[in-house]
Amino acid sequence: MSTPIRLGTRRSALAQAQSGHVAAALEKFSGRRVELVPITSEGDTNRASLSEIGGQGIFATRLREALFAGECDFLVHSLKDLPTAVPEGLVIAATPKREDPRDVVLTRDGTPLHELRSGSTVGTGSPRRIAQVHRRAPKAEVVDIRGNVDSRLARVASGELDAVILAAAGLSRLGAETPLRREELGLAEWPTAPGQGSLAVETRADAPEELLAALAGLDDTDTRLAITVERAILQGLDAGCQAPMAAHAVVEGSSIRVRTVVYAADGGRRIGLDVTEDLNGEYIRRNGSGNGADAADGADPMHAARELGFTVARRLLDQGAAGLVSREQSS
């Protein structure tokens, strides 16, 4: 029997559910057993607000240390929590097909977010969501919360909070069942974090070719294109993954459409762009690669996607976005 492939994962229910989905897909593709290796990250033990502890890589650092130390063969991350700079010696080997990228509001009675009464409490620890709540529900009070999905849902069910905002993808991957009422927030009015709904499968650059090839089989080109644009915007803004900004890209035929917004922390101001660009989509779907494979004419679609993201970031900065976000060199 061949040696199992070891997948390093955080211990949270959501992380293990995400890793379980990837493990099952990899087993089917490779014919080898995948074994989950639970790892405790600082983000799992430090209960301070993400905005206070910075958020940058807090869930990824310990996992990557384990990967470098040989405790596991590859990792699965929530892409929206992953810093844009990939450490030397590591590679994002696959971005599986993206789940629903929207945010969801959960309440006891189904009251839409914008209709919440004065003094209603909305739980979220995301600076981006906080700014958006201030805009959508200015009479509501935002409560900075941490904790797993079940604990957040319980705080609404018990009456401690009137609403919480969660990622639709996380609820879907957990298969979370709750009597609470859901309000899906449309991306046009409520864009979400770069990479939301996407997973990053990461391994060492010097991993065995057999493993790299197996992981590459999980890659979805349209997803990789979209998140490449989104993360390049974040990197170009130099703002860090806890910045009050949103970016969502989607491949539409032979083009890619990008919606992005940068918010003031209190939601009072926002700067947004809605851009559609041709990225030679027919070639992208046939030959696109996250490993820099060149097109016949010498063009690299992923390079083009990064350049589009950087261009959008420059346009946002030209319009004053630097005054709305706290720029971080570590992004």
d(CA 207, CA 205) in angstroms, rounded, equals: 6
Q: Which CATH architecture has domain 103-185?
A: 3-Layer(aba) Sandwich (3.40)
Residue 283's pLDDT is what? Answer: 40
Q: Is the pTM of this model over 0.75?
A: yes
Contact 121, 140 (CB under 8 A): yes
Q: What is the mean pLDDT for each group of 10 consecutive residues in the chain (331 residues)? A: 88 92 96 94 52 58 94 95 91 97 97 96 95 96 91 96 96 88 95 96 97 96 96 87 86 91 92 88 43 48 90 94 66 41
pLDDT of residue 2: 77
Residues 6 or more apart from 258 whose CB is under 8 A from it?
Answer: 229, 230, 233, 247, 248, 249, 273, 274, 275, 276, 277, 308, 309, 312
Domain boundaries, the chain: 1-96+198-219, 103-185, 220-321
Q: Which residues of 145-183 are buried (b: 16+ CB within 10 A; e: fewer)?
A: beeebeebbbbbeeeebbbbbbbbbbbebbebeeebeeb
Catalytic site residue 318?
A: no
For 85, 214, 279, 312, the CA distances from 308, given in Å and listed in that order, are 17, 29, 9, 6
State the DSSP code for 104. Answer: E
In single-letter form, the type of residue at position 84 comes to T
Q: What is the pLDDT of residue 325?
A: 72
> What is the pLDDT, as a whole number, of residue 324?
83
CATH architecture of 220-321: 2-Layer Sandwich (3.30)
Which pLDDT score is estimated for 41?
65
| 1-96+198-219 matches 103-185 in fold | yes
CB within 8 Å of 62: residues ≥ 6 apart: 39, 40, 41, 42
Catalytic residue (choose from 44, 73, 81, 297): 81
Q: Please answer whether residues 267 and 195 qualify as being in contact, where contact means their C-beta atoms are separated by less than 8 angstroms.
A: no
DSSP letter string over 210-224?
A: HHHHHHHTT--HHHH
d(CA 157, CA 155): 6
At 311 the pLDDT is: 95
Task: Find where tokens 């994002």 sit.
Answer: 92
Q: What is the pLDDT of residue 285?
A: 45
Q: How buried is residue 13: exposed, middle or buried, by Cβ count under 10 Å (0-12/13-18/19+)?
A: middle
Q: Architecture of 1-96+198-219 per CATH? A: 3-Layer(aba) Sandwich (3.40)
Q: How far apart are CA 75 and CA 203, in angstroms?
A: 6
Q: How far is 19 from 24, CA to CA, in rounded Å?
A: 9
